[in-house]
Amino acid sequence: MKYKFIFFILCLFLFAYSSYSVYSVELPEIILGNGINSIALSVVNTYNDNITNLALDYNEDKLPSWLTVSTVVQDINVSKGMKSQEKLLLVMNVIDASDDESYELPFVLRDSHGNQWDYILPVHVRSNIAAFDVLHENYPNPFNPSTTIKYGLKEDRHTSLVIYNSLGQKVRTLIDQPQTAGIHAVRWDGKNDAGLQVSSGLYIYRLVSGQFSQTRRMILLD
């Protein structure tokens, strides 16, 4: 699946101080949604020399259970008095976090000369923010008698969520209306549009919202 990232541009000003310094710079708070969020870091070099092979590091062991972090772009060069052409990219994946979760992410920038700059990035979760369009797997699956389908919309738009049987015949229309951006959930009770219980077996559910569409499978048990 192709992920669509949200980019936040943060300018990090690098000043000359000892690589052994414990001084940390706190950055503005970033609001994250459940799913994948990307933070693009632009570096402005106010250090008294060119910076080479600047890389970002963090302590993965201290991350909360709802957050995973990875770095994409590393080892950038920034001339004295200049802004970096490349960006250090942090990809932050928020996994089923409750609303108002927060964390202060400490990370370090190091260059090839052994210089070190310490930063703290405060992050705050808004659980109803969708970083990208996505259709999640229903839960429970397999199920009986009902299951819940969650999906995320990054923009307000008309959305449909339709269930089909294994032959491709429409069984139930759960959603067919304009919806706001955010995380949504809808319950299917195992009945068709006529209100009749359907038989056990494989069913397909399809989300269509603007140009986005995604399909998943689920199994109804006896």
Contact 185, 161 (CB under 8 A): no
Question: What confidence category does residue 99 fall into, taking pLDDT thresholds of 50, 70 and 90?
Answer: confident
- List the chain domain ranges: 7-127, 134-220
pLDDT on residue 33: 78
Q: At 103, is the secondary structure helix, strand, or coil?
A: strand
Q: Which amino acid is at 50?
A: N
Residue 153 DSSP one-character state: E
Rounded Cα distance, 58 and 197, in Å: 52
Question: For 7-127, CATH number?
Answer: 2.60.40.2310
pLDDT on residue 147: 94
| Residue range 32-56, pLDDT digits in tens | 877 777 788 888 888 778 889 988 8
Q: Is the pLDDT of residue 100 over 60?
A: yes
pTM confidence score = 0.55
Residue 137 DSSP one-character state: P
Q: What are phi and psi of 60, to 5 degrees?
A: -65, -30
Within 10 angstroms of residue 98's Cβ, the number of other Cβ atoms is 9
Burial 165-178 (b: 16+ CB within 10 A, else e): beeeeebbeebeee
Comparing 173 with 89, the larger pLDDT belongs to 173
Structural domain 134-220, CATH architecture: Sandwich (2.60)
Question: What confidence category does residue 10 fall into, taking pLDDT thresholds of 50, 70 and 90?
Answer: low
Q: Is the pLDDT of residue 214 over 90?
A: yes
Domains 7-127 and 134-220 share a fold: yes
Question: What confidence category does residue 6 fall into, taking pLDDT thresholds of 50, 70 and 90?
Answer: very low
pLDDT on residue 113: 85
Rounded Cα distance, 59 and 31, in Å: 21
